[in-house]
Structure 1
Amino acid sequence: MAANGQGVSRARSTAPQRSSAGPGLTPALDDAFPFVGRADVLAAVEAALSTPGSVGAVLVGEAGVGKTAVVQQVLASSAEPLYVVRIRGSRGFRDQAYRSVNFLLSELEGDVVEHPVMVLRAVGDYLNQQARGRRAVLAVDNVEYLDASSAALIGQLVLGGTASVLLTSQDFASADPQLAGLWRDGSLHRFDLAPFDALEARDFAAAELQGPVSAEAAALLYRMSGGNARLLQASIRAVRGRSVVLHGRTWVLLPGVVPVPTEIAEAVQLVLEDLPPAQQEIAHVIALAGQLPLPVARSIASSADLDALQSGGLLAVRHREQEGIEFRDPVIGAGIAASLSAQHAGDLYGRWVDGTATGDLLDPERHAEWLLKCQRPVPPALLLAAARSANRAGRFGAAAEYAGLGDAYRSSAAVAVERLRALTFVGRFEDAGNGLLLAAPLLDGASAAEAVPLLLAGVFLRHRLGLGGVEGALDEAEERLESDAGLGSEDRARLRADVVIARAEIASLLGRFAEARDLVLSLRTAGALLGTDQGIAADVLLAEAWAMLENQLDALQLADAVADRLQELDVAARTRELAYLRLIAIYSATGCWGQGAHRLRLTDGDSGAVLHSSAVQLALGLVRGRYGTPAEALAVLAPAFDQLRVGDPQRVLPLAASAIAYCYSVGDDIKAAIPLLVHAEPTAGDPWLVRRIASQLQLLSVGLREAKPDAARQLQALGRSDAERGASLFALSAFTSAVRLGSSGVLAELSDIAARVQGPYALLCETFAKGVNHRDAEVLLQAMDLAAEGGDQNFGRDAARSALHAARAAGDKTTVREVQQRVRRVLADLDPDGPASRLDCLTPREAEIAQLAVGGLMNREIAEVMCVSVRTIEGHLYQIYSKLHVSSRSQLAELFPAPLG
């Protein structure tokens, strides 16, 4: 196993304290699995093994968390030669003296074994003889299960200096007191290993599958395993080639519900095998129910049994709207529920739920699953509640299944709504379109409370499919609200707000940001009381509109407030995803990504970032493309692209393709970019932002392929179109990109719009434009400083090159040296004495030819301008390429700053 230091371990060395670890899993899974991350743990354990005065280390954590893997890695990578003796404690043999070390005693006489001192001397001599000068290390698994004689022998060998130890334990508080005493006196170092976090779990899965894993697949595997390495390995085996398949170069998740793997279901049965029957029964009920209100649990089991299960670490009381008891580890609960037979599940349901009020208190999804498991019918009201719950949690495949049971969606408008939402949110637009046709008759005679949600579900589906009738459906929803006299005032207000927010969202998707702004502000003016999801949806739409128009400072303030609420509140999955997409766009486009990444908890290394959808990963990849390098961007964009080809609920695939093609173009790999063009073409139903950003990326790619003047002209036209639309921030971006490609004809428009737009990015663009316009190296260096402060290294490089060009054009070598020094201090990765300064090695004629080539002229056109033959130009270009160590015009163009004036 090769060490991989990229994971961030959450293990820690602890001061002496009692531990009450819960019952662990001991699944019959492979002992060996890819070693990923935990570099800090490795270093700390290696230090504990080699530090003078230390007798070794003990690693504490649940079964399968990776304790043994760490021990094996430490032993394999040790810098000194070791003699390793492996010992394993066994729960079933704790009462048999020396059972764990009997292989060390096999050559001793029977009377020797009866005297501990003689055993100690004999085993010590044996270890010294076998070690032959090497350090002896006792690697002991499950130290709490050692029989007393074996534990005492190991303790004495350590105290006598014969051997060091590397111990693993699930519950070190239950270990032999002598070994625990070594920890208390500080000679034995303790490390508590937590399960993998989401980032480590994704890296583990990628190592196991030998390829990148999409965000959706990684999130599924993390939920299935809880980050436990062995259960993660079992989950991978269960879904590989079924629910998780190789698509392109990435392991992606296919739509549908994934059951608990059989290996996990069988493994977790061991958790309960030693419990009394009464405790097993309440554990089975809680596993099937997911959570039980505490009073209900007390009606099934005694307080003593519940206390025993809590103190053993199996169950925990959660304080939400009502006190409830559930499994501390949801993976164990799900595994136990899956392991129960249909008959036993039915018996438990009949005994404790059927005919009581308990069913009304259960989680609707778990209640429905319980009934399905024991092959009982699921009432329509419960199906509706389960589908709503699953949609809210982002389990769209499960929601579609609940709504489809018994064709309930054909007779209930409310169930049809949940099915349409589920199919739309998972990207199954064709199935959703068929569902919309089947649901149309349900509108006849339906109340506004039923009809309006169905109409709104159809609105978003129609837009995604690029169909007409969106405005008509919204108008009909409003008409039904006003004409239904039987609708309560609270329901009317809630539904009216839903309609206004839906109009604003459609306006945003169409790029009509002023309209979206006015719609949301109308809710504020009316003093509408919005629910949590309504409030977040409305505020993020308003923040987006302000950012795209000319009110960026208010947009950022509101974005901060929304970002904070997303971390604190229970928000529906779709609301959260759309909020993240829009907030990432706001922070990035205004030049405030550092602030936004912190607010959204999307900083580098944040494990929670990998649990977001591929649409969000795409947005993060775009940010990396702007603020980082193409390689960093592609590492995020490529897996997102492969997953989006399977399902694209937000219709962002063209943007992903354009972004990847742009990254390849930056790296001068045009061949890799060409296959993506078929996916980069926008279609009806794609959001305006997707089409708009994709267009700009495509033009920038063209600019990298020796056609800067043409790309710059098209960017100018794009910026003017944005300005007419009122999308000032995008107009600013387009004009600035045109100037960075060498166009000076748009400087006045750029300066005018930059003066009206707020925020750090606008200030950067305005400063850059001023420096280019006046050929002022000092002002261009100020632009470089602003770009560096905002983390925009790409813009910083362009500003630095332009500053160097301006200084050279002025003919002042002292100024050139000063500029080079400034650039070196601010942009450490840009070498001012490197490629750009090599332009000085060109002859005046070569420099002129190179400038014409960068400007987009073909060899024949350059020959006509220079009044020489094409062959002569080809010879000059060969010399230019050789001197500058480049191999193409696009690489040559990178050495030339934007022309000034």
Structure 2
Amino acid sequence: MRATPESEAERPATERQALGAAERRKWSSLVRQDLQNTVIDALGDPSLYGVVVVGAPGVGKAIFARSVEARLTPKTHVLHLHGSTDVSTPFGALAHLVARLPVDAADSPGAIIHGISHLISSDAAGREVLLVLSELPALDSMSTALLVHLLISGTAKVLVTVRQATDMPEDLIRLLKDGLLDEVELQVFSRAEVAKLLSGVLGKRVTATAASALHASSGGNPLVLQAIVTEQLRSGNLHLAGQVWAMKGEIHLSSAEVLTDLVRSRLARETPAVQEALELLALIRTAPLAVLLDVLEPEVVAEMEWSGYLRVEPSGARRVALRDEYMGEVIRGWMDLPRRNELRRLAAGVIGSITRDLDAEALLGFASSTLNVRETLEPGVALAAATAANRQFDPWFALECARQIGREDKEWVAAAQQRCVSHVILAEHEAAVAALKDVTPEQLRRLPAYDYADYVQELCSALLWVPGGHLQIPGLIAEAREDLSRRSQETGADAAEIERASGMLRLASFELHVHQGEYAEVAEALEQEYRDGIDLQQRLSCGSLLIMAWAVLGREMEAIELARELRHKIQRAKARPRLHNWLSEGLFAALLCSGQWEELARMLTATLDQQPKNIHYLGGAAELALGVSYTYAGRASVAIDTLLGAQAQLEIRRNYYGPALAYSALAFAYAQAGDVKESRTFLELAEKGQGETAWFPAWMAEFCVKMARRWLKDPGAKQSLIESANRDLAKGRITTASISLFGATVHGTEEELLLLEQVSSRRQGKMAAVNRMVAEGTRKKDPKTLLLAASVAQELKLDAVESRCAVLALDIAREAGDSASARLAQQRLDRLVGTVPVLPLTPHTFGPELTERERQVAKMASQGLSNKEVANQLQVSVRTVEGHLYQIFTKMGISSRSELEGTAQS
């Protein structure tokens, strides 16, 4: 049974209010301010007749036009022209004005034009006139002639909203080509605009993950976005978590009544054939265009595409799907089982084609349509669909498909592995382990050698994230090796497969070592397997682990280069290694430790902007990583803002970072900002929030805690950092040892500085050079080396580090009487004071003191006053001013007036 759209009057009053025109204008007014200003300026330009706003369906053209109207209304008379598909009636767009004309004024077209012009001017009562044409199907020729007359005579300006400029009447197209109409293109909301809009509407910041999820689900359509947000607020899925709005779970649209009303309203304007076609496509999700044309009339498909309903691949099979995913979900939600079965029979030809062409999209569409009508999937198809769903980060559907496979089916073990993957995506690590352990020893014995080793590796990976799980892994690997040894001695054993299986077990052992921070123990073996291995998947996985190992072993720049090399190989081979996540983790570590936080921030921001399908599951981790990079860079305020969003999400859905790193980074960021109370609050949370995680994020959390305490001048913080560095040195972790020593030696001894210099010399990259030069310059009392370190820190835009270098250089230069170096250091420090809320180090020496009169002269001279002007203001002789300047230059070690600018005492 096809549902019938409800009328506007039948909708609940609260929903009508939520989606009312005033509310929509409010939403739109909070963004696109620049475009609104552009349109308003163009409408006020005497050389232009008006503006044409173009944009695809759903970009919010009508709402945008109403927002412009609202800003102009006090001084503008606005008149809407209403077109019609029937263009046979002259002046049809202005029929309501024609009806007001005297009988004798309607004798000729010319009289009507002049009469209506007079009426419009009279109604305007001296105000400007704006004619608005919104998505007109057509204008009759006389209405068009009247419109052009009003424009040319200067009686009115026009604001047109249209999908594309060529849809306008020819006369308006000609005006546009002649430059008499301005054109503004309207796009759907970007993620940044969605975030800004929601923060304005809701009163507090929305997490980047929530903004990305809402942007993706709405397609950036303002009206749809408002409907989805209304539903998410009603259901509590979008909730205020502390100081930010965050999502509790995935966005499900089928039950969103407000959005259902929008879709019903839109479909009510379509023909029955288009409505049925939309329902069909919602059910099957995707199909090759050629096959769809066999089931539907070509005219119907063309009408759907013109109306903006379809997304068609430009090449290959040219698969067709609904452009807006929300529409398919809503339509499926209101279809009952008989209707689904009816459509499935209609789509028999399409479904038959899908089963012959099982790419990922087609497979998922076939599986979904089958399960929607409560039919069962064949085990092989169910397993393939579960695998595809996990790859597209749809774990709930993957679990639904995996449930189609019975324990007696040969696909049971592989299905258990897919259930494990789903639970890992959902951060349900105990459930992931339980899914794999729901396999009998007999089923494992029946597996081929490589499949068995693959299962063991999957189980070992899952055990890393449950309390005490890593302790089980060595025994599992040893048992599996014994099993492979037994198999290798059997008659007809495949030596190549046994070797591949043995490689998989080595991979499980490598991952355990990397997870535990034992990088030096496996780095050489990982490199050898990556360079010389035969199996591509094995090589790519070993390379992914090697990136993290090199990042911490002092080979950060090689790690970054390896990550780029691996990405290129993965793209070229169209392969995804088993341990692909370690590539991203290692690249994050290498970029962060080498001081390249800006590149890291760009990479993470792009991840959030691209709206990947895994944003709901990994968005919290991406925001946390972004917040940590800002904290590392000393950008306290933006770090706090980002980390609060990450904290809110990680408290809802823990991942391999857990909330502990968020608490620790917040403690450090608040300490940098000088907020002692908040810093100590998060230090307490960090101590309680530790959980199972890999070594590097655990180290980052501990380092942030130690640095927060160091910033707060807690006793013991320095020694704690040195002890951490010594532990890392014993394990070959050069990078992290150097970082800890750098934090510890803000007031370092000769021995500590020498150790920092030696350790940092064994690292790679500019940050390592800064560490080494700070140690060397401080130890040797060399301000020039410290100023060089400050320059490198400035290149990396590490303000807090640069300020430390500048303060050290300033103190040492003043003590040595090096006025030139002191002046350069002071200029750096003066610039940084405004950007670093709390300096990690403050000067403890004083420069040459100027007398009160010398300070007055220095200040005036630095402002560009001549000697005579200074003398006149101070009522002294020019010779006296020259004497003061001589003393000032001598004391400060400078030789020109221009060098006075920016000095502390000027």
Q: For this structure pair, what is the TM-score category when the shorter chain's length is used for normalisation? A: 0.7 to 0.9
| Partner-residue secondary structure (3-state), 2:643 | helix
Per the TM alignment, residue 664 of structure 1 is displaced from its structure 2 partner at its CA by 1.4
Distance 2:316 2:115 in 1: 63
Which residue of structure 1 aligns with residue 465 of structure 2? Answer: 464
Which residue of structure 2 aligns with residue 222 of structure 1? Answer: 215
Shift of the 141–162 alpha-carbon distance from structure 1 to 2, 3 Å rule, reads: same
Check conservation: 2:784, 2:821, Cα contact below 8 A: no
Distance 2:548 2:745 in 1: 26
Distance 1:472 1:86 in 2: 80
Distance 2:839 2:241 in 1: 44
| Partner-residue secondary structure (3-state), 1:136 | strand
Which residue of structure 2 aligns with residue 352 of structure 1? Answer: 347
Shift of the 774–171 alpha-carbon distance from structure 1 to 2, 3 Å rule, reads: same
Distance 1:70 1:245 in 2: 28
Shift of the 614–572 alpha-carbon distance from structure 1 to 2, 3 Å rule, reads: farther
Of 768, 779, 785, 1:773 maps to 779
Shift of the 493–267 alpha-carbon distance from structure 1 to 2, 3 Å rule, reads: farther
Check conservation: 2:513, 2:522, Cα contact below 8 A: yes
Bigger shift: residues 481-490 or 159-168: 481-490
Q: Cα deviations across residues 531-582 of structure 1 (Å, max 9, x unaligned)?
A: 4xx6654333212211211333322211233456788886769966553333
Shift of the 496–337 alpha-carbon distance from structure 1 to 2, 3 Å rule, reads: farther
Distance 2:517 2:548 in 1: 11
Structure 1 counterpart of 2:372, one-letter code? K
Shift of the 269–151 alpha-carbon distance from structure 1 to 2, 3 Å rule, reads: farther
**Structure 2 residue 741 is matched with structure 1 residue 735:** yes
Distance 2:164 2:431 in 1: 51
| Partner-residue secondary structure (3-state), 1:326 | strand
Per the TM alignment, residue 371 of structure 1 is displaced from its structure 2 partner at its CA by 2.0
Shift of the 826–558 alpha-carbon distance from structure 1 to 2, 3 Å rule, reads: farther
Structure 1 counterpart of 2:354, one-letter code? T
Distance 2:100 2:753 in 1: 91
Which residue of structure 2 aligns with residue 632 of structure 1? Answer: 638
Structure 2 matches for 1:183-222, cutoff 5 A?
183-222=176-215
Distance 1:641 1:159 in 2: 60
Distance 1:164 1:835 in 2: 62
Check conservation: 1:696, 1:734, Cα contact below 8 A: yes
| Partner-residue secondary structure (3-state), 1:614 | helix
Of 571, 592, 598, 2:596 maps to 592
Which residue of structure 2 aligns with residue 864 of structure 1? Answer: none
Per the TM alignment, residue 419 of structure 1 is displaced from its structure 2 partner at its CA by 1.3
Per the TM alignment, residue 616 of structure 1 is displaced from its structure 2 partner at its CA by 1.8
Check conservation: 1:144, 1:169, Cα contact below 8 A: no
Bigger shift: residues 132-141 or 507-516: 132-141
Structure 2 counterpart of 1:206, one-letter code? S
Q: Cα deviations across residues 354-385 of structure 1 (Å, max 9, x unaligned)?
A: 89453353523222221232232333333322
Which residue of structure 1 aligns with residue 338 of structure 2? Answer: 343
Of 469, 474, 479, 2:477 maps to 474
Shift of the 568–606 alpha-carbon distance from structure 1 to 2, 3 Å rule, reads: farther
Check conservation: 2:56, 2:308, Cα contact below 8 A: no
Distance 2:837 2:445 in 1: 73
Shift of the 596–246 alpha-carbon distance from structure 1 to 2, 3 Å rule, reads: closer
Distance 2:33 2:671 in 1: 35
Which residue of structure 2 aligns with residue 236 of structure 1? Answer: 229
Distance 1:271 1:556 in 2: 50
Higher relative contact order (CA 8 A, sep 6+): 1
Identity %: 24
- Tell which structure's C-alpha radius of gyration is larger: 2
Shift of the 525–142 alpha-carbon distance from structure 1 to 2, 3 Å rule, reads: closer
Check conservation: 2:206, 2:245, Cα contact below 8 A: yes
Distance 2:645 2:743 in 1: 28
Distance 1:664 1:756 in 2: 32
Q: Cα deviations across residues 126-167 of structure 1 (Å, max 9, x unaligned)?
A: 333344443222233224455655444333212221111222
Distance 2:99 2:496 in 1: 81
| Partner-residue secondary structure (3-state), 1:246 | strand
Distance 2:128 2:390 in 1: 59
| Structure 1 unpaired stretches of 5+ | 1-26, 844-901
**Structure 2 residue 445 is matched with structure 1 residue 418:** no
Check conservation: 2:340, 2:372, Cα contact below 8 A: yes
Which residue of structure 1 aligns with residue 877 of structure 2? Answer: none
Distance 2:277 2:70 in 1: 45
Shift of the 130–487 alpha-carbon distance from structure 1 to 2, 3 Å rule, reads: farther
| Partner-residue secondary structure (3-state), 1:196 | coil
Which residue of structure 2 aligns with residue 245 of structure 1? Answer: 239
**Structure 2 residue 696 is matched with structure 1 residue 689:** yes
Check conservation: 2:217, 2:251, Cα contact below 8 A: no
Distance 1:462 1:256 in 2: 26
| Structure 2 unpaired stretches of 5+ | 1-18, 850-906
Check conservation: 2:741, 2:756, Cα contact below 8 A: yes
Which residue of structure 2 aligns with residue 882 of structure 1? Answer: none
Check conservation: 2:25, 2:66, Cα contact below 8 A: no
| Partner-residue secondary structure (3-state), 2:797 | coil
Shift of the 674–754 alpha-carbon distance from structure 1 to 2, 3 Å rule, reads: closer
**Structure 2 residue 796 is matched with structure 1 residue 790:** yes
Q: Tell me the C-alpha RMSD between the 2 structures.
A: 3.9
Q: TM-score, normalised by structure 1?
A: 0.80
Distance 2:749 2:733 in 1: 21
Which residue of structure 2 aligns with residue 699 of structure 1? Answer: 706
Of 44, 50, 63, 1:50 maps to 44
Distance 1:104 1:638 in 2: 58
Check conservation: 1:824, 1:831, Cα contact below 8 A: no
Distance 2:223 2:312 in 1: 27
Bigger shift: residues 389-398 or 425-434: 425-434
Distance 1:442 1:264 in 2: 51
Per the TM alignment, residue 659 of structure 1 is displaced from its structure 2 partner at its CA by 0.3
Check conservation: 1:394, 1:574, Cα contact below 8 A: no
Which residue of structure 1 aligns with residue 60 of structure 2? Answer: 66
Check conservation: 2:78, 2:130, Cα contact below 8 A: yes
Distance 1:133 1:791 in 2: 57
Distance 2:706 2:799 in 1: 20
